[in-house]
Amino acid sequence: MGGTELDYIHTAFADNWVAPLGPHVTEFEKRLGDYCQMPYAVALGSGTAAIHLGLIALGVGTGDLVICQSKTFSASANPIVYQGATPVFIDSESDTWNMCPVALAEAIADLQAKGQLEKVKAIIPVHLYGMPAKMKEIMAIANQYGIPVLEDAAEALGSTYFGQPCGSFGKIGALSFNGNKIITTSGGGALLTAEKAVADSTVHLSTQARDNAPHYEHTKIGYNYRLSNICAGIGLGQMEVLDERIAKRRSNFERYRGFFTEINKKGFNIRFQEEDVNSFSNRWLSCILLDPAENNGLTRENVRLRLLEDNIEARPLWKPMHLQPVFAGTPYYGGNVAETLFEQGLCLPSGSLLSEDEFERVFAKLGEIFGG
């Protein structure tokens, strides 16, 4: 926590705004919209809810297809299934580790040849670990075919591409404030949009779709997806430290990069998720790629388990959705980039509270693993 969150919670208690609406919700939405340069932000109970309501706003329903980045957390894809639609998974490209525009174009051409293009209702690119996807290329393809983009920016609050905030490129953007994200409301999310009608209908659906009547009248199926005023208060406190958090995460990454640059001089070749000149990543997580063929046979699993010996947790990168048992048999376009990233990638300790002592401990162990 940044420090002022409790003040906002106290205000909410003092004013008795303990409900899924109130002044903190309104103010949090305003700050998020301003920060992400989107006219409307709707605060919700989770990032998953934001993706779900985003798909509903795009009219995704039974029998439709939604094109989705394969390499991501399952919450990018699960809401497609909630809607009775089928995901079509797309490989990553090796620069950003995000949706490959070439594989995306291939998928669309193939679906068109099969007469299924009209069923495609949305494209979901993801900005993994904060790294902006190649949105120029992806938007160009999406616009060419008139398919709306729902940007999963759950990991990328504060990241920019050509100076424009992640989450503001598509028709809809989704943010997450889960406990592990760069800022948190303990649990929460937001839907970003430039369209007032989308924002209004998202608020309506997220609060049980109650029509304007003295009694409870419903013409639509609603959801209980709104963010509470207490959690929004935490979010207001967190917005005050967001830029500090980004600076810390970026400095974590630079420490690792510096360390591995030295290691690489000793006959290793550790790679990173690289920014290009037009992208700025919040560096939510610091990740490395370790090809055993370039690293004396050392695998990411060797490194992960050796770190764990000293109670240092590192994790494999997201396992691609097209390799998940739950999505077996789902269409997939591309090669094995996402799969190789999964086999060779490791997320290193990346928290905003990572101290000098903890860095020393991690570097000492890594030094041991990579031969002193």
Ligand X SMILES: *Cc1c(COP(=O)(O)O)cnc(C)c1O
Pick one of 126, 172, 227, 317: the residue that binds ligand X (CB under 6 A). Answer: 126
Backbone angles phi, psi at 187, to 5 degrees: -170, 135
User: Is the torsion defined by CA of 104, 110, 114, 118 positive or negative?
Assistant: positive
Q: Please pick, from the candidates 8, 41, 46, 230, the single residue that binds ligand X as defined by CB under 6 A.
A: 46
Measure the CA–CA gap between 51 and 167, rounded to whole angstroms.
Answer: 12
Does residue 73 interact with ligand X by CB under 6 A? Answer: yes
- Under the criterion CB under 6 A, does residue 178 sit at the interface with ligand X? yes
In a 3-state reduction of DSSP, which class is residue 247? helix
Contact range with ligand X by CB under 6 A, out of 67-75, 82-90, 139-147, 350-358:
67-75
Q: Compare residues 104 and 285 and give the one whose CB is closer to ligand X.
A: 285
Shortest Å, Cβ 318 to ligand X:
8
Say if CB 199 and CB 173 are below 8 A apart. no
Q: Give the closest residue to 185 by CA, choosing from 341, 313, 74, 29.
A: 29
Whether 150 and 174 have beta carbons less than 8 Å apart is answered as yes
**DSSP readout, 119-166?**
GEEEEE-B-GGGPPP-HHHHHHHHHHHT--BEEE-TT-TT-EETTEET
Please report whether residue 48 would count as binding ligand X according to CB under 6 A: yes
Question: According to CB under 6 A, which one of 152, 275, 339, 343 is a site residue for ligand X?
Answer: 152
Smallest distance from ligand X to CB 83, Å: 16
What's the count of helices (H) and strands (E) in the chain, helices before strands?
Answer: 11, 15
Residue 57 touching ligand X (CB under 6 A): no
Site string for ligand X, 93-112 (x = CB under 6 A): --------------------
- The SS3 call for residue 333 is strand
Indicate whether 282 belongs to the interface with ligand X (CB under 6 A).
no
Q: Which stretch binds ligand X (CB under 6 A): 28-36, 57-65, 71-79, 195-203?
A: 71-79
For residue 216, give the DSSP letter: -
**For ligand X, what does the binding mask look like between residues 290 and 309, x meaning CB under 6 A?**
--------------------
Using the rule CB under 6 A, give the single segment among 72-80, 270-278, 319-327, 350-358 that binds ligand X: 72-80
Size of the site for ligand X (CB under 6 A): 14
Site residues for ligand X, 332-361, by CB under 6 A, read: none
Candidates 29, 38, 72, 96; binder of ligand X (CB under 6 A) is 72
Measured from the CB atom, is 32 or 75 closer to ligand X?
Answer: 75
Of the pair 150, 362, the CB lying nearest ligand X is at 150
Using Cβ positions, the residue closest to ligand X within the complex turns out to be 47
Q: Answer yes or no whether residue 20 interacts with ligand X by CB under 6 A.
A: no
What is the closest distance, in whole angstroms, from the C-beta atom of residue 292 to ligand X in the complex?
A: 27
**Contact call for residue 75 and ligand X (CB under 6 A):** yes
CA angle, residues 225, 226, 231, in degrees to nearest 5: 120
Angle at CA 25, nearest 5°, toward 19 and 27?
150
Query: How far apart (Å, rounded) are the C-alpha atoms in residues 244 and 250?
Result: 10
Residues 288/346, Cβ–Cβ less than 8 Å: yes
Helix (H) or strand (E) segment spanning residue 89: strand 86-90
Tally of CB atoms within 10 A around 103: 23
Q: In 10 A of CB 290, how many CB atoms?
A: 23
Contact between 273 and ligand X per CB under 6 A? no
* Position 154 contacts ligand X (CB under 6 A): yes
User: From the list 47, 54, 158, 170, which residue makes contact with ligand X (rule: CB under 6 A)?
Assistant: 47
Q: Which of 70, 76, 83, 193 binds ligand X (CB under 6 A)?
A: 76
Shortest spacing between CB 57 and ligand X, in angstroms: 17
Q: Does 189 bind ligand X (CB under 6 A)?
A: yes
CB atoms within 10 A of CB 190: 33
Phi, psi of 338 (to 5 degrees): -60, -40
Binding site for ligand X (CB under 6 A): 46-48, 72-73, 75-76, 126, 152, 154-155, 176, 178, 189
